[in-house]
Chain A
Amino acid sequence: MNPKTTNKIAIGLIYTFVAIVVAILVSLIGYILVTGVPHISWHFLTSKSQSFLSGGGIRDQLFNSVYLLFLTLCLSFPIALGSGIYLAEYAPKNWITEVIRTTIEVLSSLPSVVVGLFCYLLFVVQMHIGFSILSGAIALTFFNLPLLTRNIENSLKSVSHLQREAGLSLGLSQWKTITGIILPAAVPGIITGIILSAGRVFGEAAALIYTAGQSAPIIDYTNWNVFSSSSFLNPMRPAETLAVHIWKVNSEGITPDANLVSSGSSAVLIILILLFNLLAHWIGNLLYKKMTSNF
């Protein structure tokens, strides 16, 4: 075969493969939306789930997912910020920094089920916290930390070193230079990273099955007392999230309309995550424009 024919075949194959991938994605998203969206109704979003009857909704699961996401970000952002600053600004070039980086890589490559089991062992069992939003948020924090840390580190590093010199040459401390000059300049990247990580956290289930638990007890949305066990804000209650719910109804299979509930829940999950992605791009671009142009 002469090179020209080979070239044509090879390039053709590449196009075919790419087309197949695009087709797969389109059909996956299409399938979820086509089967799921018709099931999404006000009733579905606002009524509680059913174990043995059909017609259950996802109100509590949806709220749990959002609440858990909120707590996770509250826990993980400060730690990731501190660590990101350390890696981008303070870390000397030596073997200790190498070890630290490797440690973070190890954490990020641990299967989420292992992170979940560790939290189950330490917090749920040994510390007697039990299946709870708190345990779940801790597990998700561990799961989220390495990526968020790396994102913050990269956002900080992408700010020109000239800005650091400018700050230092004015007699500012390194800390004020970082927090007052570098960090604000890195905000677009950091916000984008947070929203993207929020999408990941929102869809995570393996780390939650044995930490936040698989049950959604009846909660009272009018009870604002965080310490009351029936309050929707109580972090010590077990809380099944939307992602865990999808897994549960499919693997235990006693809900008669499991398929419909899962399609509906999957559609809600996908739509929310797509919104997260869009929001991330949009806010990132907006902030970037705002900072570099006239305002």
Chain B
Amino acid sequence: MKKYNLDENLIAKFDNEKAIVTNSVDVFYGNHQSIFNVNLDFPRFSITALIGSSGSGKSTFLRCLNRMNDSIANVDGNIMYRDVDINSKKVNVYEVRKQIGMVFQRPNPFAKTIRDNVTFALKKHGIKDKEELNERVESSLKEAALWDEVKDNLDKSALSLSGGQAQRLCIARTITMKPDILLLDEPASALDPISTAKIEETLKNLKSKYTIIIVTHNMQQASRVSDYTAFFHSGHVLEFDKTAKIFTTPKIQATEDYISGDFG
């Protein structure tokens, strides 16, 4: 494996409104440090891709943004969202996760009906009105581009869906909470190309309403869907810029090698 200078980096800053800002985030699993001093500003209403080889820390970092690492790792640093450091112990972690939703690598629908998958969390958060629930089911399934495929089978088990459908159901389930930010952890890695294309299409449509941060190891995907790209290597962010710039004129050697496939 080639050695790169991990201290040499290029983190661009932009003037747009910020959705979430991280200040010197470090992550430790026990004594092992896996994320080093990450400072990233995520512009609002845009898609940011986190790329890098497996083990580079991109997923770990993503999970910090809605506190999904709480029980597995120690996270240091500040994560500013709406002027609140959501990495603080004092913050209500459930509210954080309502505002910042997450879709995981493997589709994980609940062992319930399609409808209940969408309404389950809504009901637990106090929405009881049937009409409203039905409306939310329809609108979120439409947003996730799944409505036409399942509208006649809403009371079927979600476990009967195909992988791609299940993943879009998971997206619908997340956006029905009306979050501010949507985190996606390699959402298409377990899917076939057609399902992947559908998910990407869905993401582009969602961009107008949500800030999306997506982890992917698929560089074509990153270049197709994202506006900004951050390149992770060995727990460091080496380069962050507009996607077009990263993919055409990378400034850092490691980024260039990774993008051209001459890496590792």
Q: Which residue numbers of A lie inside 8 Å of B, CB to CB?
A: 160, 162-163, 165-173, 176, 180-181, 184-185, 291-295
By a CB distance below 8 angstroms, the chain A residues around B109 are 166
Min CB–CB distance A123 → chain B (angstroms): 40
Q: Which of B104, B111, B120, B125 has a CB less than 8 Å from the CB of A165? A: B104
Min CB–CB distance B120 → chain A (angstroms): 7
Task: Give A167 to B174 CA distance when docked, in angstroms.
Answer: 10
* B97 in contact with A294 (CB, 8 Å): no
* B97 in contact with A169 (CB, 8 Å): yes
Main secondary structure of the interface of B (DSSP, over half): mixed
Task: Give A260 to B9 CA distance when docked, in angstroms.
Answer: 89
Task: Give A180 to B122 CA distance when docked, in angstroms.
Answer: 12
Q: Quick one: which of B101, B109, B124, B156 has the most chain A CB within 10 A?
A: B124
Closest residue of B by beta carbon distance from A181:
B110
Task: Give A145 to B111 CA distance when docked, in angstroms.
Answer: 28
CB contacts under 8 Å to A, within B149-164, are: 155-157, 159-160
Task: Give A70 to B174 CA distance when docked, in angstroms.
Answer: 42
Closest residue of A by beta carbon distance from B113:
A295
By a CB distance below 8 angstroms, the chain B residues around A160 are 108
Q: How large is the interface on B (under 10, 10 to 19, 20 to 34, 35 or more residues)?
A: 20 to 34
Closest residue of A by beta carbon distance from B99:
A171
Q: Which of B95, B106, B173 has a CB less than 8 Å from the CB of A170? A: B173
CB contacts under 8 Å to A, within B194-248, are: none
The contact sample of 24 A-B pairs, CB cut-off 8 A, is A160-B108, A162-B104, A165-B104, A166-B104, A168-B68, A170-B97, A170-B121, A170-B173, A170-B177, A171-B95, A171-B97, A171-B98, A171-B125, A172-B121, A172-B124, A173-B94, A180-B120, A181-B110, A181-B120, A291-B159, A293-B157, A293-B159, A295-B113, A295-B155
Residue B170, interface by CB 8 Å: yes
Closest residue of B by beta carbon distance from A161:
B108
* B97 in contact with A185 (CB, 8 Å): no
Task: Give A217 to B109 CA distance when docked, in angstroms.
Answer: 56
By a CB distance below 8 angstroms, the chain A residues around B120 are 170, 180-181
* A168 in contact with B108 (CB, 8 Å): no
Q: A170-B177, A293-B160, A294-B157 are in contact. Are A165 and B101 (CB under 8 A)?
A: no
Q: Mark interface residues in B106-128 (1 if CB within 8 Å of A CB, else 0).
A: 10111111000000110011000
Min CB–CB distance A258 → chain B (angstroms): 52
Task: Give A170 to B112 CA distance when docked, in angstroms.
Answer: 16
Closest A-B pairs by Cβ, 10 of them:
A171-B98, A162-B108, A170-B121, A169-B102, A171-B97, A166-B108, A185-B111, A171-B94, A294-B156, A291-B111
Q: Which of B101, B156, B157 has a CB less than 8 Å from the CB of A291? A: B157
Q: Which of B94, B98, B106, B111 has a CB less than 8 Å from the CB of A292? A: B111
By a CB distance below 8 angstroms, the chain A residues around B165 are none
Residue B255, interface by CB 8 Å: no
Min CB–CB distance B171 → chain A (angstroms): 12
